[in-house]
Structure 1
Amino acid sequence: MNQPILSSPSQNSAISSKGQAPHRRRVAFVQSTWHRDIVDRCRDSFLAALAEAEWDPDAVDLYEVPGAFEIPLLIRKLAAHGRYDAFVAAGFVVNGGIYRHDFVAEAVISGLMRVQLDCDVPVLSAVLTPHHFHEHEVHQAFFLSHFEVKGREAAAACLAVLSEAYTVPLAR
């Protein structure tokens, strides 16, 4: 899925310190489809929060991968093109009762950090890795709600890292 979704000329344009023309800020939102019903809540609340901040719908591109394990590689490939000013990753790595949960969680989070450091582009994580998740009504309701919160937090963090205040060195 690669459908453009959001941003605003007032908030996602920036004039460089060299006086060059403003450029539009672009964001890629990459999510896993594992537990889609839950992870979609993160994406939807992320987009809603950006819309509330008056971002133009064409400044966010949406991508999907099968599981959280694949997120860092896709972000790395997208970062190589230089099109995006920030990335947001959303996924749900649950403990299925075997050691794999810890391995996948560590690999995904470390991979996201590596991409961020190697490519010098912010990578924001809304990849949740709870130790306790069972597919019953109580946990479903909790994580559906929690992913809505995480989506809004990711939007706030994205707006912050793309703001001029974040990118301009502080005076000493």
Structure 2
Amino acid sequence: MAGQSHYTPPMPEFDAPVKLLIVVAPYYKDIADDLVAGARAQAEAAGATCDLVEVPGALEIPTAIRLAQRTADYDGYVALGCVIRGETTHYETVCNDSSRALTLLGLDGCCIGNGILTVETHEQAAVRAGEQNKGGGAAAAALHLVALSRKWRGQGKGIGFKPRGEDTLLA
């Protein structure tokens, strides 16, 4: 609805540096460039640094993030891309599967901001990437999750199983 206001929580402040990885699928290069510019500006405003990698399409974004999560040293991730509805069901597959994979990574503790646009037209994408700054919003989401992750790091609930350490091995 036009004219509707949306609440955005204040950006967190960080005591230690934050490093983000922006993963972008630049199929629609003009849209991707606007998304990346917004994400970089938001990261910089929060004092974070970021690296950028490109992948062929939206379906590869979650895989790239998972690879980085396993092998690199990033605090959070920003997923950026654009999927525009076409004439086939491929749109639904790409939208649903990329979103589902990012959600599963997030539920596994990965701090991700999802800025993959799913739209009907290029014009809708241009508005979301430009004036609506969805790239900046995705970076802000990742930064909020990084802050929560740091806040709760190392706080166990004292329930469930603990990995067996050397001090608990039986002789």
Same fold (TM over 0.5): yes
Matches within 5 A, 1:62-101: 62-101=52-91
Q: Deviations over 1:71-94 (max 9, x none)?
A: 011111111025111111001111
- Name the structure 1 match of 2:126: 144
Percent of counterpart pairs with the same letter?
28
Aligned residues: 140
Q: What is the aligned counterpart of 1:122 among 96, 108, 111?
A: 111
For the pair shown, the structure with the greater C-alpha radius of gyration is 2
The CA distance in 1 between the partners of 2:148 and 2:114, in whole Å, is: 21
Q: Is the 8 A contact 2:117 2:125 kept in 1?
A: no
Does 2:93 match 1:109?
A: no
The CA distance in 1 between the partners of 2:69 and 2:150, in whole Å, is: 20
Q: Which runs of 4+ in 1 moved over 6 A?
A: none
What CA RMSD, in Å, does the superposition of the two structures yield over aligned residues? 2.3
Q: Deviations over 1:46-83 (max 9, x none)?
A: 11122233x25xx2110100111110111111110251
Q: CA deviation at 1:162?
A: 2.5
TM-score, reference length from structure 1: 0.72
The CA distance in 1 between the partners of 2:70 and 2:149, in whole Å, is: 25
The CA distance in 2 between the partners of 1:165 and 1:100, in whole Å, is: 35
Q: Which amino acid aligns with 1:46?
A: A
Q: CA deviation at 1:26?
A: 1.4
Q: Is the 8 A contact 1:125 1:154 kept in 2?
A: yes
